[in-house]
Structure 1
Amino acid sequence: MKYCSALLVALFCFSSAQGETAPAAPAPAGSTTLESSTEWNLNDLYPDTASWDSARNDIAARITTLRDCKGKLGTSAEVLAQCLNDINDAYKELLRLYVYAYLARDTDLGNSEYLERSSLAQMLLSQMGEATSFVSPELIAIGEKKLSGFMAQTDQLKDYDYFIKKTLHLAPYTLNDAEERILAATFDTMQTPSSIYNVLTNAEMPMPTVTLSDGTDVLLTTSAYGQYRAVDNREDRKLVFDQFWETYQNYRQTLGLTLEGQVKNDVLMARLRGYDSALQHAQAGDNIPQAVYHALVDTVNEHLDSLHRLVSLRQRVLGIKESHYYDIYPAVVPLDRTYTLAETKQIVTAALQPLGPDYVDTFTAAVNQEWMHVYPSPGKLSGAYVMGAAYDVHPYMLLNFDNSLEAVSTFAHEWGHAMHSLLANRNQPFSKSDYSTFTAEIASTANEVLLLDYLRKNAQTDQERLHYLFQELSQLRGTFFRQVQFAEFELAIHEHVEKGGALSGDKLNSIYGDLLKRYFGHDLGVMVIDDAYTVEWAYVPHFYRNFYVYQYATSISAAYYLMDRVLNDGEEAQQQYLDILRAGGSDYPYEILRRAGVDMASPDVYLAVIHRMNRLMDEAERILDQQQTVPAETANAP
């Protein structure tokens, strides 16, 4: 996962996520001793914590010297290049320090030593931003004409041409040096809502234990909820939903305060810089037209009938009279299979063949390195991410692998991120390597598209093919419709605060609940949404990432479009896709995609996903209709 932080006031955005490793958890049933290491090796970053401490002291000293460049950037092209190089090099080393601290933290969120080390890294990031806050105002004061002359005089500035272009583009919203320094100094404080949320929901909230119908007692941690909300027994999954969301309801006011704090941070920063809204501020750095956001939301709202059709189709297969929200996760056509890590690597490697030998060879070499922390363990952060900010090292990947098909899909997804970072870092200097969130989810989603296409094409029976069809349909619901619903919610709560409103837990329940009911057709009788589940907003960490979530939906749209071309148009389309990954952060992401023929401000891009979804449902219905008319024992006969 990638996001641009408040360090835009410094030189560049960095990649991160929600980061010495904890003892390994036992491998889940079905794993094999033939699998390679399942824990990452942080020695690639620093051989020990003493080396990290030494590097921290060195970087802290280097940061204090960066302000020596203040007032000198316009002296000459050579002086400007040297100053930017010094800042660039210090920032690159700081991110290496940051990665080490946060990877360790995320494997054991209850470890105070790890938390303190990550806090020290965060403080240095804030200090870095403060020390370099003069850069943007000074470049703007120098002016486009003189800077263009500097860049024409020397190749030493070629690595910074895009940074300079972005800085000048943001000139109307850049404050003076003193004001920028003040804003930069707030960076660490601004992370407080997110930090509290992560520790509270991952380490300190007492989660309930439920007893399932077979007598199994389950502690509903976040990862356990993700597993047991999809069980076949309907009463069990209702119990899981009821108990899990009751716990969040009990903490809704505290969680409401943390989210309100984040939204207020976003709104405040937008106002201080002179933007019309937090949305405009969030999109300005990458120069993304606001038309993209509205085209996405409007197009999906016009086609909610496709989501309703999916709910009804699942209801048909599940054989239930009325759909409830706790019915959206179980596999409607189960496939009794688990996957070891070794099998997962083999399947994903086969699925990625359409991307060409260079891509596959790079993936094959990387996937067998000690770059992943694979299995769940006590105190470990839930979910999955890739952190690719250690430019001179390699990406690191956190997983919570449970041997399911969903885990295989997540594996493919996160390796899309890792490959994006590898290709960007290989083809771009550090200053242009960090790709935008707007393009970050394309490679990950493309990997999932190819995985499901491969599995469906290689299915041995109609039942297996149905399983993969519904798997893809579920992912379209989750990564397209659900993320657009999140985007509407995020826009609504920011606009509410911008108009002077407050966000209590109950208010957030109301706003989110209204959207949830509209998307799933509650008032149309499509699916019943119980009020107890409207606290789901409190489960979504991405709301602490300032208009991050809509880019999942834009990315899946671009990924489907691009993979259709790769599969149908051959090597030329393959290279155009890989050029997007190689481009890293060398230009505005909207423009990088336009050069590949994808205009994200056009409804046509999003309609392509909806049309794909309807075609998948058409295929599923044909198989289901055939199964109703053909005896089961002959349905798959030659």
Structure 2
Amino acid sequence: MKKHNLKRRALAVLCSSAFALTAISMSVQAQDASTKADEQYTWDLTPFYATKSDWENELERLRGEIDGLSAFAGKLDNAQTLLAALEAQSAFSKELLRLWTYASNIQNTNLANPEGQAMVGRLMALFQTASAAQSFFAPEVVALGQEKIERFISSEPGLKDHAFSLRNTIRQGKHVLSPESEQVLSLLTGALSAPQNARDMLANAEIEWPTITLSDGTEAHLTNAGYTLHRADKDREDRIAVFDAFWAKYKDFESTFGITLNGEVQANVATSKARKYNNTLQYFLSGDNIPEEVYRTLVKVTNDRIDVLHRYFKLRGRMLGIEDLGYHDIYPDLVQTDLSFPIDETREHMLASLRLMGEEFSGKFAKASSERWMHVYPQAGKRSGAYMSGSAYDVHPLILLNHQDDYGSASTYAHEWGHAMHKVLTNENQPYELSNFSIFTTEIAAIAKELLLQDHMLQQAKSEDEELFYLGYALEQMRGTFFRQVMFSEFELAIHEEVEKGAALTGARMTEIYGEILKRYHGHDEGVMTISERDMIEWAYIPHFYYNFYVYQYATSIAGAAYFVDEMKTGGKKGVDTYLNFLKAGGKDYPVEILKEAGLDMTSAAPYNAVIDRMDDVMDKIEAILDKRGS
């Protein structure tokens, strides 16, 4: 298994909320352990394994089957043996991912618990050993050739569910190395993850974060979580103080963060060259067969229409009453509200928003959301953010939340249930071998549910203030999920291209590259927003740069989600059926092809222009209300 495929599988296990960039970070939140710890708000893991002893026994059984996976080496010369090897791999990986789901979710409810850490560590070792044991497989399939593989598929009905995977292996054949080289790369997986591990340890455990006193006397400890909490403070001078102290600490470690990210980039470039790809972008897009055109078109359209983002910042300044907008002004709520969204009311709003999808789908959600599939509230040591964990094919998905009874939490609830219902429909309609959908498609499924919830809340808004609140949230989502993620994507591509052309990539150079992009996106030269030297170290704060050409999918996904929501609202049953068929497709084809079948061409500029047009439309509505009020 390639290094980036291992990361992709781990990320697919945790489909996370795009809107909260801390969702995948491993920081421990200092939370009240007693917060709403009612059993109904915690998940039940017994459907996975009745006891931890059962988990231990299954782990030992799988360890004993490693040799059986490698026993097929050199024997894939007939359809029956090929099928036997594939069935063995499927059975092994299906149970391995069930083990992983159980262990990782035990760990994530208390990251400080050594038992959970040990369980996950043992599984990671098993992943690596199993990957090395199967490293012969792709080279041997490639050596058989497309003609012989097609003959095997035609003659052996049992290969039907494996046909897509086999053809995909042949497609990437020129990038598959010798069995010995593949085994070496598999054994290097842990070593190649060292830069990310070092960065996470430095950022989350070893840096002594500053504490500052806010204007009301509050002592603010500016860890990563503390920064997230206080960067949106109402008092502007407090926000400036938070930014000054927090980013100064990151600046102190600019060179070290530069070394870790450069190590990640160097490893990526070297691996892509070893596999004979034209560039690193092509390498990381190859697994899902995403054309480079998708990535580059996304960046081009965004830059061509950067004026819409600048319009948003001007509107933000107007709504906040700030003329000299700075980077420290991008997080405060545009509209203050005392609206509350307790978890049970959130579920009812979600049910109402899904009515246009028909009784069958909304009924499935109603039943699933009444079960103990979620771990809802914060507690001491619990992983921050939110995710859906759905890699255990024979069991239901799990959802981790840190619900705060606000609208952001309600939107996150909709997002993660979008992932979960995608997994439910996929598993009902696809065999295990075709159930591993791409992040590229499942983020569309998740964000679509957020947009449906937004539409529902707007329809039942009881005042202009409420309407402004929901419109403002929609605007910030489009900024954070579309424009901000494209900005990150542009930086990620730039630093890889810097190494590809042989330039030195230091922390200072990354700050320079990021600063230029940050200024362009925020209209610094046009006087829209001032970006200071202080802000340009932000790249060091973003863990997603170690997930390797991952974040662009958030931007493509909000574009795809807007398309499907519009289709469902205007196309009636046909539009709903198109969307449901998309959900049911799972991983039966490449994501771009699945979307083309649904009428959406992600290689064109149209979907990206559409979501930017949607942002313009929301601003028109907000400005109409403000003009009416004379504010």
Give the TM interval when normalised to the shorter protein. over 0.9
Q: What residue in structure 2 maps to residue 53 of structure 1?
A: 56
Q: How does 1:218-367 map to 2 (within 5 A)?
A: 218-367=220-369
Query: CA 1:579–1:206 in 2, change beyond 3 Å: closer, same or farther?
Result: farther
Query: CA 1:40–1:11 in 2, change beyond 3 Å: closer, same or farther?
Result: closer
Matched, 1:492 2:489: no
Query: CA 1:9–1:479 in 2, change beyond 3 Å: closer, same or farther?
Result: closer
Q: What residue in structure 2 maps to residue 16 of structure 1?
A: 13
Shift, 1:90, TM fit:
0.4
Q: Which of residues 82, 85, 90 in structure 1 aligns to 2:84? A: 82
Q: What residue in structure 1 maps to residue 3 of structure 2?
A: 6
Which is worse superposed, 531-540 or 201-210?
Answer: 201-210
Q: What residue in structure 1 maps to residue 46 of structure 2?
A: 43
Shift, 1:353, TM fit:
2.0
| Rounded Cα–Cα distance in structure 1 between residues aligned with 2:86 and 2:408 | 44
Q: What residue in structure 2 maps to residue 178 of structure 1?
A: 180
Is 1:45–1:393's contact at 8 Å kept on the other side of the alignment?
yes
Equivalences, count: 620
Is 2:29–2:383's contact at 8 Å kept on the other side of the alignment?
no
| Rounded Cα–Cα distance in structure 2 between residues aligned with 1:513 and 1:215 | 33
Q: What residue in structure 2 maps to residue 635 of structure 1?
A: none
1:36-83 superposed Cα distances (whole Å, 9 cap, x missing partner): 6333333332333333222222111112211111122222x2221111
Matched, 1:64 2:67: yes
Q: Which of residues 574, 577, 591 in structure 1 aligns to 2:576? A: 574
Q: What is the alpha-carbon root mean square deviation over aligned residues?
A: 2.4
> Percent identity, aligned pairs only?
42
Q: Which SS does the other structure have where 1:282 is aligned?
A: helix
Is 1:9–1:129's contact at 8 Å kept on the other side of the alignment?
no
Shift, 1:352, TM fit:
2.1
Q: How does 1:67-466 map to 2 (within 5 A)?
A: 67-75=70-78, 77-466=79-468
Q: How does 1:461-540 map to 2 (within 5 A)?
A: 461-540=463-542
| Rounded Cα–Cα distance in structure 1 between residues aligned with 2:30 and 2:229 | 23
Query: CA 1:326–1:347 in 2, change beyond 3 Å: closer, same or farther?
Result: same
1:545-585 superposed Cα distances (whole Å, 9 cap, x missing partner): 11001111111111101110111111111111111111111
AA partner of residue 464 (structure 1): E
AA partner of residue 133 (structure 1): S
Q: Which SS does the other structure have where 2:41 is aligned?
A: coil
1:461-492 superposed Cα distances (whole Å, 9 cap, x missing partner): 11111111111000000000000000000001
Moved over 4 A (4+): 7-14, 21-24
| Rounded Cα–Cα distance in structure 2 between residues aligned with 1:330 and 1:351 | 27
Which is worse superposed, 606-615 or 183-192?
Answer: 183-192
1:498-522 superposed Cα distances (whole Å, 9 cap, x missing partner): 2223433222222111111110011
| Rounded Cα–Cα distance in structure 1 between residues aligned with 2:606 and 2:121 | 45
| Rounded Cα–Cα distance in structure 1 between residues aligned with 2:42 and 2:270 | 40
| Rounded Cα–Cα distance in structure 1 between residues aligned with 2:370 and 2:31 | 18
Shift, 1:202, TM fit:
3.4
Q: Which SS does the other structure have where 1:218 is aligned?
A: strand
| Rounded Cα–Cα distance in structure 2 between residues aligned with 1:369 and 1:201 | 36
Is 1:483–1:550's contact at 8 Å kept on the other side of the alignment?
yes
Q: What residue in structure 2 maps to residue 600 of structure 1?
A: 602
Query: CA 1:90–1:259 in 2, change beyond 3 Å: closer, same or farther?
Result: same
Shift, 1:275, TM fit:
0.4
Query: CA 1:381–1:265 in 2, change beyond 3 Å: closer, same or farther?
Result: farther
Q: Which SS does the other structure have where 2:592 is aligned?
A: helix
| Rounded Cα–Cα distance in structure 1 between residues aligned with 2:259 and 2:111 | 21
Is 1:27–1:375's contact at 8 Å kept on the other side of the alignment?
no
Matched, 1:560 2:559: no
Shift, 1:26, TM fit:
4.4
Q: Which SS does the other structure have where 2:104 is aligned?
A: helix
Q: Which SS does the other structure have where 1:37 is aligned?
A: helix
| Rounded Cα–Cα distance in structure 1 between residues aligned with 2:230 and 2:6 | 43
Q: Which SS does the other structure have where 2:630 is aligned?
A: helix
Shift, 1:183, TM fit:
1.3
| Rounded Cα–Cα distance in structure 1 between residues aligned with 2:188 and 2:269 | 14
Shift, 1:149, TM fit:
1.6
Q: What residue in structure 2 maps to residue 634 of structure 1?
A: none
AA partner of residue 57 (structure 1): E
Query: CA 1:382–1:298 in 2, change beyond 3 Å: closer, same or farther?
Result: same
Is 1:11–1:132's contact at 8 Å kept on the other side of the alignment?
no
Q: What residue in structure 1 maps to residue 20 of structure 2?
A: none
| Rounded Cα–Cα distance in structure 2 between residues aligned with 1:155 and 1:563 | 38
Query: CA 1:202–1:101 in 2, change beyond 3 Å: closer, same or farther?
Result: farther
Q: How does 1:613-624 map to 2 (within 5 A)?
A: 613-624=615-626
Which is worse superposed, 457-466 or 352-361?
Answer: 352-361
Shift, 1:338, TM fit:
2.5
Shift, 1:16, TM fit:
2.4
Q: Which SS does the other structure have where 1:227 is aligned?
A: helix
Shift, 1:617, TM fit:
0.6
Which is worse superposed, 253-262 or 175-184?
Answer: 253-262
| Rounded Cα–Cα distance in structure 2 between residues aligned with 1:502 and 1:105 | 39
Is 2:389–2:399's contact at 8 Å kept on the other side of the alignment?
yes
Q: Which SS does the other structure have where 1:397 is aligned?
A: strand
| Rounded Cα–Cα distance in structure 2 between residues aligned with 1:596 and 1:419 | 18
Is 1:558–1:598's contact at 8 Å kept on the other side of the alignment?
yes
Query: CA 1:461–1:540 in 2, change beyond 3 Å: closer, same or farther?
Result: same
Query: CA 1:259–1:111 in 2, change beyond 3 Å: closer, same or farther?
Result: farther
Shift, 1:220, TM fit:
3.2
Query: CA 1:199–1:422 in 2, change beyond 3 Å: closer, same or farther?
Result: farther
Shift, 1:537, TM fit:
1.5
| Rounded Cα–Cα distance in structure 2 between residues aligned with 1:439 and 1:5 | 21
AA partner of residue 74 (structure 2): G
| Rounded Cα–Cα distance in structure 2 between residues aligned with 1:544 and 1:472 | 28
Query: CA 1:382–1:566 in 2, change beyond 3 Å: closer, same or farther?
Result: same
| Rounded Cα–Cα distance in structure 2 between residues aligned with 1:82 and 1:338 | 55
1:282-330 superposed Cα distances (whole Å, 9 cap, x missing partner): 1112111111111100000011100000000111111112101111111
1:385-404 superposed Cα distances (whole Å, 9 cap, x missing partner): 21211111122222222222
Is 1:14–1:389's contact at 8 Å kept on the other side of the alignment?
no
Query: CA 1:534–1:512 in 2, change beyond 3 Å: closer, same or farther?
Result: same
Q: Which SS does the other structure have where 1:71 is aligned?
A: coil
TM-score computed with the length of structure 1 as normaliser: 0.92
Is 1:101–1:114's contact at 8 Å kept on the other side of the alignment?
yes
Q: Which SS does the other structure have where 2:220 is aligned?
A: strand
| Rounded Cα–Cα distance in structure 2 between residues aligned with 1:595 and 1:111 | 46
Is 2:7–2:547's contact at 8 Å kept on the other side of the alignment?
no
Is 1:36–1:368's contact at 8 Å kept on the other side of the alignment?
no
| Rounded Cα–Cα distance in structure 1 between residues aligned with 2:388 and 2:431 | 20
| Rounded Cα–Cα distance in structure 1 between residues aligned with 2:115 and 2:206 | 17
| Rounded Cα–Cα distance in structure 2 between residues aligned with 1:265 and 1:139 | 26
Shift, 1:594, TM fit:
0.4
Shift, 1:23, TM fit:
12
